[in-house]
């Protein structure tokens, strides 16, 4: 019996890939599980002959290419970029007829609307709107701070925090290169001009600011990874608290944050009983989120949830990431969780190939 073939769809420039370390481990673990695994981009698929030019790690470093059969299942790791290549990827996904382990998720504003329509989700959702300058001013009258974020951004890029200070406003942001920007503005007219320049007519959203400085001067959130396993069921792989760098508006690890096991972080702040209750609610939030998302968008494989816990212990869903990293487990020294986070997408992909094979033989 031939080995199952798993393709990993991603972008590439020559033989350069966006997540090389993760992809090397993914391919190695896939081989350990008895599968043929390779990377490819939309340009590498020959749809008429159902063959794919695939890439795997070369023994001497770098990547080697060869031709592979049409994949039984595809894990999609193609990241959003505002480029023609992304449009080609979207078109390829629609026409290829491949079996994908994970459907595409829309941009953040659409996802928020889908979640908001489910009444079970509403208690966890901060007030959020598509950006416009009138809405910005309304939200700032209601809340002491708001966040302006790109609808397709990742890694803390393009985020802007606006706080009311006296009669004016204090702004702190990270541009697309993650360089910090700040400004002190005296009135609403200046504020709107400044933020409109920041947004540049692109799709942004505005979100109610939350007090997530559980350590003074440091923003903190919980990154929870929920994944499907080899039986096709959702299971939580783990959760870690991400403590942002001093006075940094984002808590992302590559923006200077550090990772701490969630329970160990929350217990000294809230006491054991409340910390356990907070983590139980985070798990409940995670299972409800993936159920709501799958009901609307179809099959998903994994989601990285950014969860805020405010000073009162209230739990908030800040963001949903359908193509999450898993480095937080390495940062925390949780090697077993890290390996599990890599293996689960492969185990789920293999589960899908078995399920399809059963349908064809029944």
pLDDT at residue 200 in the model: 83
Lowest average pLDDT, out of 216-220, 232-236, 262-266, 333-337, goes to: 216-220
CB-based contact 159:148 (threshold 8 Å): yes
For 244-282, the pLDDT digits (tens) are 766 555 555 555 578 999 999 999 999 999 999 999 999
Please give the residue that has the higher pLDDT: either 186 or 292.
292
Fold held by 128-208:
Dna Ligase; domain 1 (3.30.1490)
| pLDDT of the residue at 69 | 96
Q: Domain spanning 108-124+213-348: which superfamily?
A: ATP-grasp fold, B domain (3.30.470.20)
- Both structure tokens of 87: 């449009």
Whether residue 173 contacts residue 165, with contact meaning beta carbons closer than 8 Å, is answered with no
Mutual orientation of helices 272-297 and 262-270 as an angle, nearest 10°? 130
Q: What is the CA radius of gyration of the chain?
A: 22
Return d(Cα 98, Cα 7) in angstroms, integer: 10
Mean pLDDT of 28-57: 95
Cβ-based neighbours of 61, under 8 Å, separated by 6 or more: none
The whole-number pLDDT of residue 362 equals 46
More confident residue, 111 or 155: 111
CA distance between the termini of the chain: 18
pLDDT at 191 over 60: yes
Instruction: Name the pTM for this structure.
Output: 0.90
The tens digit of pLDDT for each residue in 130-164 reads 998 888 889 998 998 999 988 876 666 788 889 88
pLDDT cut 90: percent of the chain above it? 62
Nearest to 8 by CA among 45, 33, 34: 45
Q: pLDDT tens, 66-85?
A: 999 999 999 999 988 878 88
Third-level CATH fold of 5-100? Rossmann fold (3.40.50)
Asked which of 157-161, 311-315, 358-362 is least confident by mean pLDDT, the reply is 358-362
The full set of domain ranges for the chain reads 5-100, 108-124+213-348, 128-208
């Amino acid at each position: 019996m031939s080995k199952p073939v798993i393709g990993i769809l991603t972008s590439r420039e020559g033989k350069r890939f966006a997540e090389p370390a993760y992809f090397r481990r993914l391919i190695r673990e896939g081989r350990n599980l008895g599968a043929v695994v390779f990377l490819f981009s939309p340009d590498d698929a020959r749809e008429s002959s159902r063959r794919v030019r695939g890439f795997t790690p070369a023994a001497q470093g770098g990547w080697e290419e060869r031709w592979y059969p049409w994949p039984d299942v595809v894990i999609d790791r193609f990241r959003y970029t505002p480029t023609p290549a992304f449009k080609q990827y979207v078109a390829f996904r629609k026409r290829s007829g491949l079996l994908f382990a994970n459907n595409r998720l829309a941009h953040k504003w659409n996802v928020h609307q889908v979640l908001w329509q489910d009444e079970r989700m509403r208690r966890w959702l901060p007030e959020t709107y598509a950006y416009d300058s009138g809405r910005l001013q309304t939200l700032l009258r209601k809340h002491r701070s708001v966040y302006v974020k790109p609808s397709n951004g990742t890694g803390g890029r393009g985020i802007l925090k606006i706080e009311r200070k006296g009669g004016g406003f204090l702004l702190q942001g990270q541009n697309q290169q993650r360089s910090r920007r700040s400004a002190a503005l005296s009135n609403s007219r200046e504020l709107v001009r400044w933020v409109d320049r920041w947004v540049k007519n692109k799709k942004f959203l505005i979100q109610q600011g939350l007090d997530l400085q559980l350590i003074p001067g440091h923003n903190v959130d919980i990154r929870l990874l929920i994944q499907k396993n080899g039986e096709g069921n959702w299971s939580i792989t783990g959760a870690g608290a991400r403590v942002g760098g001093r006075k940094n508006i984002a808590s992302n690890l590559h923006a200077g944050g550090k990772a701490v096991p969630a329970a160990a972080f929350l217990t000294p702040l809230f006491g054991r009983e409340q910390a356990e209750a907070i983590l139980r609610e985070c798990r409940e939030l995670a299972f409800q989120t993936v159920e709501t998302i799958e009901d609307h968008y179809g099959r998903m494989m994994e989601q990285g949830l950014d969860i805020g816990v405010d000073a009162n212990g209230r739990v908030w869903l800040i963001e949903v990431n359908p193509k999450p990293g898993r480095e937080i487990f390495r940062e925390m020294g949780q090697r077993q969780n890290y390996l599990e986070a890599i293996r689960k997408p492969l185990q789920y992909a293999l589960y899908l190939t078995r399920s399809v094979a059963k349908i064809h033989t029944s």
